[in-house]
Chains A and B, each alone.
Chain A
Amino acid sequence: MIRFIAKRLGSGLVVLFVVSALTFFLLYISSGSIARNILGDQATAEQVAMKEHELGLDQPLVLRYFAWLADALSGNLGASWFTSEPVANSLATRIPVTMTMVFAAMILIAFCAALIGVIAAVRRGWVDRVVQVGAIIGDSIPGFVIGVILVTVLAIQLGLFPATSTISPESGPDAWLYSMSLPVIALLVNGVTGGAQQIRSAVIKQLERDYVRTLRSRGIGEREILFKHVLRSAAPAGLTVLSLQLIGMLGGVVIIEQIFALPGMGPLAVAATGQSDLPVVMGVVMYTVVVVIVVNLLVDIINGWLNPKVRVS
């Protein structure tokens, strides 16, 4: 197991390095006069030249990459070109907001999707049809549309929730709960409907296997078959779906955060990309890659723990 984890971590590092190099070169080559972006349209040519020197943009690209890499390895991700705020600081204040939302949504998705999926698989009939229709409807309504509908109805018309985030250092956990509720609901609807559909198929597939028939023939109760055998075998499929949803959610959350004005990673990524604030963009990309690597690793470990067959292979 330890060797397996070490191997996955090693390949993760390679991915991180490759992505950082690719992102760095693509960003720097495609963005023109960054200094002028920073100074605005009234800056003179001398001002622009001064700023380029200040930012080290007059150095060769490869040198700049290795300077960035050396700094990054020592934990220094640089500072925003526009605000001079250290990138590590920006990430540290924003990751908790985004991650709270993503994990709250994921836990609820896992719970609801598993419950609904298993019920649909076991009961079949109308419940199953509802789940299938729900999956289609859920997939066809983007999260941000659900977000806008929720704000209009629950925040503006009924006044149950704040329309945009009220999170601030003065506010207690209740403000977090109120501010996060609508965005989390907007995020989880697609996840629940999609996840339930996948889990349903995985459970049905297992229920049709020969070993279930054998277990039944030996008089073992349906409940025990389901919880002890079927769910365990169906878990890898469910986990994979959930991990893919989590990774997909890192993208979806960008728009949700904009709509609800949550100070998470989304607005930071959008603003930095729009302005070509490259140190910040690099920071955001590195964070995303790390999350993807960690999530995949965790899923592999949990799968191995649930199902010895995976460990052997």
Chain B
Amino acid sequence: MKLGPKVAAAALVLSASFALTGCGGAANSGSAAGAATALTLGTVQDVRSWDPAQAHVGHVLQPYQAVYDTLILREPDGKLSPMLATDWKYNADNTKLTLDLRTDVTFSDGAKFDAEAAKANVDHFKKANGPQMAQLASVKDVTVVDADTIDFNLSTPDPALEYFLSQAAGLMGSPKALGSEGIKTEPVGSGPYVMDKAASVKDSQTVFTARKDYWNKDLQKYQKLTFKVLTDLTARTNALVSGQVDATILDPKNGRQAEGAKMKLAANEVDWQGLLLLDRDGVKNPALANVKVRQAINYAFDRKTILDQVMLGQGTPTSQPFGKASGAWSEELENYYSYDPAKAKQLLKEASFENGVTLEIPAVPGFETQISVITQQLADVGITLKVGAALTNTYTADIAAQKFTTIYFSLFQGQPTVATDQIVSTKALYNPFKNTTPELEAKIAAVRSGGADAGKLAQEVNKYVVEQAWFAPLFRINQMYYHNSKVNVTPQIQQAVPSVYNYSPAK
């Protein structure tokens, strides 16, 4: 008998495989997330340092919440509730925030949580040079009023401060451990879980067990909590589909595979994507100084079609950079620039650029498809997009150095002052040419001193940058957070991954 070469080759490859599978025998089919009291989450990266002052935002905040309580709790819908602080209020001119603190909380090393401990944390946060140090930039100092009361004294009003105290700046570590080497690798907090260091491996998995006598049993829903680090998207998909993790973040394309395996989606709009027309004074590209040119760019895009084709429809077309949850969002700005190539050409003509405009943008890894689609749509109205070298890991420095006049990016949609200082104000990294007008400055100042009305006042800032076409937003995109049927997940506003409190065993 003569075997065909194809069959024989297949046999060769297979026999090599079976040499090993033979020794494997009956393997466990990945039942890491077995009992209902255990939760395993797939995360994109490991925590760099467990020092609470090194915590970040969004999915880099989640693991910290397992071991550290925050002064204020942010509910899934964004409402701020008591946590370590039972009550808080501003003075009349919003320059002093007084917090009443709980008296029944201890840290996992036995230290007691009190006003001195809270002050020690704030002092540490302000000098530790963490990625979110700016959260307390407006805080001059903290004074201890009595054992369970502290004052935050502000150098300037900051409507986002209460929100920040539910984020990195509000994480409370044991005063005995703050600043030590030990806390970098083993967290010491008052939170619902404690780290099981023996079972944890850096960059692979971090295991937590429920803390005995935790003061708030409502926030402690599992006996064991594991963060499995899965940097690679394919690995995350495989781990979820095969039951190794209960929940993780994917993207629209891999999400299809997860849906095929009956995983559930907890979608949430967190970022916006589109063009940032940075050189609005025309320092390097005079065409961009003309508002009509910038508006023409906005009219050139068929946002809905791009969203459907590139993102499989996972998102919402929009013309405004501020997020729906920020309070600065407004219905009238949502479709301010509808798809109208004729109008775009007309505006270019009125701006005396009917012979064409050339924009230079850097290539952005991960957004190749989007950039090629917008290149085509801009070409249709007479605007040439020249795509240059790709952004590298020094892109923030490059942006600050005014290297780019226009970029395509996906950016987080934060609270009004956070978003303003990210993309609009003269301090913003994404306003490298420091564009501003007295009119805009006045609107921003109103937001800063606006207190509880900050969101509403920020609508004016939003309106200004939309009318002036500072950006050409395309859409808000869905974060594709998937989970299996063993767990209920509530999405958290403005976070790609939910807060750790938002998971509960499915009945």
Stretch of A11-19, A46-54, A59-67, A245-253 with 4 or more beta carbons under 8 angstroms from chain B: A46-54
Contact of A261 with B by CB under 8 A: yes
CB pair B241 A156 closer than 8 Å: yes
A160-B27, A185-B16 are known contacts. Are A259 and B48 too (CB-CB below 8 A)?
no
Q: How many angstroms between the C-alpha atoms of A129 and B48 in the bound complex? A: 53
B235 CB contact (under 8 Å) in A131, A152, A170, A261: A261
Chain B residues near A159 (CB-CB < 8 A) = 27, 29-30, 242
**CB proximity of B32 to chain A, nearest CB, Å:** 7
With A159-B29, A162-B244: A51-B12 Cβ-Cβ less than 8 Å: no
For residue B28, give the distance in angstroms from its CB to the closest CB of chain A.
7
Contact A42 B231 (CB under 8 A): no
Residues of A within 8 A of B234 (CB): 148, 259
A290 to B34, CA, bound (A): 42
Binding site for A on B (CB under 8 A): 2-3, 5-6, 8-9, 11-13, 16-17, 19-21, 23-24, 26-30, 32, 45, 48-49, 56, 129-134, 137, 184-185, 198-205, 207, 228-232, 234-235, 238-239, 241-242, 244, 392-394, 396-398, 400, 421-422, 427, 429
14 A–B contact pairs at CB < 8 A?
Answer: A32-B398, A33-B397, A42-B132, A42-B421, A83-B202, A162-B27, A163-B30, A167-B204, A178-B28, A181-B21, A189-B16, A259-B234, A271-B45, A271-B203
Shortest Cβ distance from residue A190 to the other chain B in the assembled complex, whole angstroms? 10
Chain A residues closer than 8 Å to B207, beta-carbon distance: 168
Partner of B20, one of A44, A181, A261: A181
For the complex with contacts A47-B129, A83-B48, A126-B5, 11 further pairs of A-B residues with Cβ separation under 8 Å are A32-B398, A40-B396, A44-B134, A108-B20, A133-B6, A137-B13, A162-B244, A166-B28, A189-B16, A260-B235, A267-B231
Contact of A163 among B202, B205, B241, B393 (CB under 8 A): B241
User: Is B12 within 8 A of A164, CB to CB?
Assistant: no
Judge whether A261 and B21 touch: CB under 8 Å.
Answer: no
Residues of A within 8 A of B (CB): 31-33, 36-44, 47, 50-51, 54, 82-85, 90, 93, 108, 112, 116, 126, 129-131, 133-134, 137-138, 148, 150-152, 154-156, 159-170, 177-178, 181, 184-185, 188-189, 192-193, 258-261, 263, 267-268, 270-271, 274-276
> Would you call A37 and B12 a contact (CB within 8 A)?
no
B201, A93: Cβ atoms closer than 8 Å: yes
Chain A residue numbers with a CB within 8 Å of B427 are 44
- The reply to whether A32 and B394 contact each other, CB–CB distance below 8 Å, is yes
Assess whether B133 is in contact with A47, with CB atoms less than 8 Å apart: yes
Q: How far is the CA of A177 from the CA of B27 in the complex (A)?
A: 9
**Which residue of A54, A163, A178 is within 8 Å of B239 (Cβ)?**
A163
| Cβ B184 vs Cβ A84 within 8 A | yes
Contact partners of A151 in chain B: CB under 8 A? 238
CA–CA, A185 to B14, complex, Å? 10
| Nearest 4 CB-CB pairings of A with B | A32-B394, A33-B397, A159-B29, A263-B204
Contacts known (A54-B129, A189-B13); A42 close to B230, Cβ less than 8 A:
no
Q: Which of A37, A148, A268 has the most CB of B within 10 A?
A: A37
Q: How far is the CA of A31 from the CA of B398 in the complex (A)?
A: 11
Q: Which of A51, A131, A155, A181 contacts B238 (CB 8 A)?
A: A155
Q: A168–B19 Cα gap in the complex (Å)?
A: 25
Name the B residues within 8 Å of A270 (CB-CB).
231
A270 to B231, CA, bound (A): 10
In the complex, what residue of chain A is closest to B1 when comparing beta carbons? A126
